[in-house]
Amino acid sequence: MKKTLIAFAASTALTSPALAQMLELEKDELTFGFIKLTDMAPLAVAYEQGYFLDEGLFVTLEAQANWKVLLDGVIDGQLDGAHMLAGQPLAATIGFGTEAHIITPFSMDLNGNGITVSNEVWEAMKPNIPTNDEGLPQHPISAEALAPVVEQYKSEGKPFNMGMVFPVSTHNYELRYWLAAGGLHPGFYSTENISGQINADVFLSVTPPPQMPATLEAGTIHGYCVGEPWNQQAVFKGIGVPVITDYELWKNNPEKVFGITAEFAEENPNTTQAVVKALIRAAMWLDENDNANREEAVEILSRPEYVGADEEVIANSMTGTFEYEKGDTRSVPDFNVFFRYNATYPFYSDAIWYLTQMRRWGQIAEAKPDSWYDEVAKSVYKPEIYLEAARALVDEGLADEADFPWDSDGYKAPTPAEDIIDGIAYDGRTPNAYLESLPIGLKGEQTVVGNEVEG
């Protein structure tokens, strides 16, 4: 039956101008992994809308237990590729954690995360938060409002614990960024101590995304940073309050990527291009006509084989709104971005931001020159593969020429200070100058030795 489906898709693709033209594939049966998060949507849509089949690909999508299992599956070949944390291909390639050369030819989305605190912590924060004309909390909310609460916990001899999804996750770095911007130290890593809790005011630990609400409810953690729908789930369950979205933290920040091994890409160049073509089409579908397809996407994602959360919970953020306190729903049309703003293009400057955060907190133990950041970014992020797939779609009449950054050198224009919560601009071309501009974190030749910063 599988072979029949592939043959039918192939014959249809060759005769219909609305479908992709077939490449000579090196491998046509593929298994991709994902974690149960809203931003796996391009994979689900490419499957459900038939974009993989249009390319002659028979794809199986498999939910994974956690990010480590997912990464290991790609490295050992059980998975041909996966929805990945952007930090995973970078960390693997430079040997932080499991070492392997992983690349990404496709960035899956912008934004999509939030930081949630327990009801108890929220009530303690509220007196420190100014209100707007409607008497509602003024957003964005700075971690300065959390600082007195953390100080109170300290004075009582209690640790203030928060959850993030993986040591090299966007969520870890976003939570650290927010805390540090509010004057709270999220802790360093060192080669001897990989807890990330050296000198910490707030103690961060790993919790898999779907388990975040239950872990918060149990009191094991007092807050967390995670992707959707697990912030909105806390609101629906009445156990927590999202205090900030990553769109407010850093407007249109990069999020997940699609990761494959460099070996897979080298051995299967046509298959890789076909996969990227299907994913680009899925991203276009998700954003087209001012998000007109989002309701259908929500229904797809709510299925148990994908995210498996209630449609209402997923729709809360996926359709252009975000609910903070119960009843405090605000318009956030760019909470999830899948295609506009060149969201799918794998920019070197996005990779370099992740590398600067690894260096800032000690995961990269020693100083590196700017040239090193550029070289690592170019070894992992592959815009040349992306543009090859985009060109094929344009030639087939399936995409518009104007939608792709053909002349980019791989670097975005610097993110202006007003788009980032701490008012510090980011330029991927000058990573060391950027690190110097951040008040908390390693800079220059500094290293973490024991519990001290030296240099």
**Predicted confidence (pLDDT) at residue 10 exceeds the cutoff of 50:** no
Which token pair is 280?
A: 């680009």
The Cα 42–Cα 284 span in angstroms is 9
CB-CB contact of 19 with 12 (8 Å)? yes
Count CB neighbours of 185 within 10 A.
16
pLDDT value of residue 20: 58
Check whether residue 102 and residue 142 sit in a common domain: no
Listed in sequence order, the residues at least 6 apart from 249 whose beta carbon sits closer than 8 Å to its beta carbon are: 115, 140, 174, 177, 178, 420, 421
Check whether residue 228 and residue 263 sit in a common domain: no
Check whether residue 261 and residue 374 sit in a common domain: yes
pLDDT value of residue 1: 34
Indicate whether 351 belongs to any domain. Answer: yes
The Cα 275–Cα 271 span in angstroms is 6
DSSP string, 98-148: S---EEEEEE--EE-EEEEEEHHHHHHHGGGS-B-TTSSBPSSPPGGGTHH
CATH of the domain at 177: 3.40.190.10
User: How does residue 22 score in pLDDT terms, banded at 50, 70 and 90?
Assistant: confident
CA nearest to 55, candidates 224, 276, 367: 276
Domain hosting 177: range is: 113-253+429-447
Indicate whether 409 belongs to any domain. Answer: no
Indicate whether 453 belongs to any domain. Answer: no
Q: How many domains does the chain have?
A: 2
Check whether residue 328 and residue 220 sit in a common domain: no
Check whether residue 211 and residue 303 sit in a common domain: no
Give the 3-state secondary structure of residue 76. Answer: coil
| pLDDT digits 0-9 by tens, 174-230 | 999 999 999 999 999 999 999 999 999 999 999 999 999 999 999 999 999 999 999
pLDDT value of residue 353: 98
CB-CB contact of 201 with 178 (8 Å)? no
The Cα 186–Cα 191 span in angstroms is 17
User: How does residue 394 score in pLDDT terms, banded at 50, 70 and 90?
Assistant: very high
Check whether residue 269 and residue 197 sit in a common domain: no
* Least confident residue range of 85-94, 278-287, 322-331, 372-381: 322-331
Q: Please state, in angstroms and as integers, the Cα–Cα distance from residue 228 to each residue in 111, 143, 225, following that order.
A: 10, 21, 10
Check whether residue 61 and residue 167 sit in a common domain: no
| pLDDT digits 0-9 by tens, 37-61 | 999 999 999 999 999 999 999 999 9
Check whether residue 223 and residue 271 sit in a common domain: no
Q: Evaluate the omega torsion of the peptide bond into residue 42 and state whether it is cis, within 30 degrees of 0.
A: no
